[in-house]
Amino acid sequence: MKSLPPRARKVRILSTLGPASSDPATIRELYLAGADAFRLNMSHGTHDDHAANLAHIRALEKEYGRPMTILADLQGPKLRVGSFANNLVTLKAGQSFVLDRDDTPGDASRVTLPHVEIYEALKAGTRLLLDDGRLVLRVREVDDNRIETVVEVGGALSNRKGVNVPDVVLPLAALTDKDRRDLSFAMQLGVDWVALSFVQRPEDLAEARRLMGGHGALMAKIEKPAAIQRLDEILELADGVMVARGDLGVELPPEAVPPLQKQIVAAARRMGRPVVVATQMLESMIKAPTPTRAEVSDVATAVYDGADAIMLSAETAAGDFPREAVAMMDGIARTVETGPGYLDRLHFTQTKPDATTADALAEAAGSITRTVSARAIVCFTLSGSTVRRVSRERPHTPILALTPRAETARRMGLFWGVHAVRTKDVGSFEEMVGKARRMALRHKLAEGGDKIIVLAGVPFGTPGSTNVIHVAHLRGDELKGHD
């Protein structure tokens, strides 16, 4: 079995797989370049494609003896216009344009819009954005079968382009029939995270949670303005969130997205939910071997804000330089994290602990680590909740998570600063301390003479029982033992 030292950086890198990165050699290159987790985009590819990619990742996991995280991203209720008789029309500002439920191919005066839910929600004055916001229509009149609009921003419109409705909450189910099939398939595969697209309200998470049956973790993608209004409620019910800046930037003015990104990241951190910043981070690297300076700054900003993970989309799924994109993101993150003032900026967001023993000990672990100059925090966990709490505090030392459960170890691949290891459970305090020492040494997170902080729960093997914190001194001769 090959072995690699733990990542030097704390923020995780989530890499999307696709046509440019669906063979075992390329997936290995992405991992070695810095990818910590892999995204299967259910909007593209077949179930066979995704099953093959998952098999490649699990084989790599076995090869390196490292838990690897897999996220299945559901497509969600994507709204689209129908087709045109000549495939393409040009709409001019000021003209009338009708959207209706007639299946006849469209022309420059009308086109099919087959989504009945939109007709029910619209009213005069509502905006409709077409083709990622390139065209803007304003509703004049609407009934059950016809939406009459005036074109405010014109341009070319071709078949099956997307429709965004930013001004109202649409009565859409969060899961389409395709999503339900994809989710069932993802659960059969054993993915670690499921990302739910176009979340508008906390209730949207309920059906996905039920269909997951207690397996995997659920991530809410924040890409609708309506979700911002109920962000704290969504965070209460989700296991994590993604700042999906693509659609968020379509439905809102572009200048509104950066402050919202900071708001979402800060809110997620306060509530101890892993948060991923996604979309167009190194977009130019789809076709170029280096990014723009603005893109570098964008990635750096997400790292300074304390995001748990930063994501590559088309850069690794369909780009010409997938390995280079991961290596570039890794280099940016490591440079930021080792730069002056990083930890000060990271703690601009205050993360007050809840009134629980586990939260109190997680907060204390960070404080004790600084006071005694400990080199690592070692957490024994079954569910990962203790590790999530410690990660929320953004300590300056690595977090070594020890768990007997493979699914828990894999899920923690999106937690900031965590190096997860699957290992046998412990049965006594002495065994706990001994194993913590050995594993810190074995994984090169500390050396003989160093101190580590150990967190665990007594009685051992009971989820959610964190109630022990211990400072351990390491000796260099403690590596013996089967863990």
Closest CA to 418 of 7, 14, 30, 39: 7
Known active-site residue 462: no
76, 196 in Cβ contact below 8 A? yes
Active-site residue (options: 221, 323, 389, 438) = 221
Does residue 221 have an active-site annotation? yes
CA separation for the pair 254, 282 (Å, rounded)? 17
Q: Active-site residue 451, yes or no?
A: no
- Catalytic pick among 126, 279, 351, 466: 279
Whole-angstrom distance, CA of residue 114 vs CA of residue 103 = 8
- Contact between residue 11 and residue 304 where contact means Cβ atoms under 8 Å apart: no
Q: 180: burial class by Cβ within 10 Å (0-12, 13-18, 19+)?
A: middle
- Per-residue H/E/C for the chain: CCCCCCCCCCCEEEEEECCCCCCHHHHHHHHHHCCCEEEEECCCCCHHHHHHHHHHHHHHHHHHCCCCEEEEECCCCCCECCCECCCEEEECCCCEEEEECCCCCEECCEEECCCHHHHHHCCCCCEEEECCCCEEEEEEEECCCEEEEEEEECEEEECCCEEECCCCCCCCCCCCHHHHHHHHHHHHHCCCEEEECCCCCCCHHHHHHHHHCCCCEEEEEECCHHHHHCHHHHHHHCCEEEEEHHHHHHHCCHHHHHHHHHHHHHHHHHCCCCEEEECCCCHHHHCCCCCCHHHHHHHHHHHHCCCCEEEECHHHHCCCCHHHHHHHHHHHHHHHHCCCCHHHHHCCCCCCCCCCHHHHHHHHHHHHHHHHCCCEEEEECCCCHHHHHHHHCCCCCCEEEEECCHHHHHHHHHCCCEEEEECCCCCCHHHHHHHHHHHHHHCCCCCCCCEEEEEEECCCCCCCCEEEEEEEECCCCCCCCCC
The answer to whether 12 is a known catalytic residue is no
Q: Of these residues, 39, 66, 269, 438, which one is catalytic? A: 39
Pick the catalytic residue: 80, 101, 209, 451?
80
- What's the angle, vertex CA 101, arms to CA 99 and CA 104, rounded to 5? 90
Q: Which residues are catalytic?
A: 39, 80, 221, 279
